[in-house]
Amino acid sequence: MSEKRSEQRVKWVVGNWKMHGRLAENAALLQAVADGAAAMADTIRIGVCVPTPYLAQAQAVLSGKPVAWGVQDISTYTHGAYTGEVAAEMACEFGATLAIVGHSERRAYHAESSELVAAKARRALEAGLTPIVCIGETLDEREAGTTEAVVGAQLDAVLNLLSVEEAARIVIAYEPVWAIGTGRSATAEQAQAVHAFLRARLAQKDSSLARVPLLYGGSVKADNALALFGQADIDGGLIGGASLKSQDFLAICAAQKAASQAR
């Protein structure tokens, strides 16, 4: 992969708070991230995906700051009798620009299929949100040697539903299920191998899709971020637990900035 193509790809670090947060601690965290991001906005993009009840707070603190905000899931519907669901258009009314879809916890705990994830990605795009589409294999699948078959099928479900123009507006997050919240991260080489496979798969649909940002998620920390982000096909991270502490999250952002400048 040429340096020119790498430079054309957007670099992202996005925090996924999952089901964490309270108003007072959120205020301090959001403000600290906004302040720290100011020195990095010229090189990378930074975002946080918060629990839906805190969208208004994120909007209030982050408006006008170099940090995007978004939601952790959306409905495939725009409105109707779908109790508990949140429409993409509702998130947009609070200034959200990002939406995580297909996180492994949604796939596992809510039985979300790859086809449903694809439909959510398209709904996000229709509303003007950037979907961060999560894919990844379980430990059993990795040990069985089926990683590429699993993540390839998950990606294909999305690419089969979207046009090339739509697919060019998504972000992909590779999150090996066995590394999420376990403290066990894929090695930089393991992550790079899957990212290279995914980039080739995207390019098979259309050469322009080789520029789709590919993020790594799965126990990313300040001490392993630089090695991960320094890989040729890793364009940033979707950060779980470390995004709940501003110092840790900003250190990961700084690692991405350093990796981007080194290329």
DSSP secondary structure letters along 100-152: EES-HHHHHHS---HHHHHHHHHHHHHHT-EEEEEE---HHHHHTT-HHHHHH
Mean pLDDT score across all residues of the chain:
95
Options 103, 112, 137, 195, the catalytic residue: 103
The rounded distance, in Å, linking the Cα atoms of 40 and 66 is: 9
Q: Which candidate in 105, 137, 175, 195 is catalytic? A: 175
CATH 3.40.190.10 fits 3-262, yes or no: no
What's residue 182's pLDDT? 76
Query: Which residue is it, tokens 């790809």?
Result: 9
Q: How confident is the model at residue 263 (pLDDT cuts 50, 70, 90)?
A: confident
Q: Which of 10-19, 122-131, 174-183, 227-236 has the lowest mean pLDDT?
A: 174-183
Cα 253 to chain centroid distance, Å, stands at: 14
Q: Residue 100: beta bridge partners?
A: 132
pLDDT above 70 covers what percent of the chain?
A: 97
How distant is the alpha carbon of residue 125 from its chain centre? 15
Taking residues 209-215, report their average pLDDT: 98
Q: How confident is the model at residue 7 (pLDDT cuts 50, 70, 90)?
A: low
Q: What is the spatial distance between Cα 101 and Cα 14, in angstroms, rounded to a whole number?
A: 13
Residue 184 has a pLDDT of 76
Q: What is the pLDDT of residue 185?
A: 73
Question: Is 175 a known active-site residue?
Answer: yes
Mean pLDDT in residue range 66-85 = 98
Name the strand (E) or helix (H) holding 232.
Answer: none
Residue matched to tokens 């959306």? 74
Q: Token pair for residue 247?
A: 């110092």
In a 10 Å sphere around its CB, with 0-12 CB exposed, 13-18 middle and 19+ buried, how is residue 120 labelled? Answer: buried
The answer, yes or no, to whether residue 54 has pLDDT greater than 50, is yes
| Predicted pLDDT of residue 1 | 39
Residue with tokens 């430990």: 139
103 is catalytic: yes
For residue 3, pLDDT over 60 is answered with: no
Reported as a pLDDT band with limits 50, 70 and 90, residue 24 is very high
- Confidence (pLDDT) at 8: 80
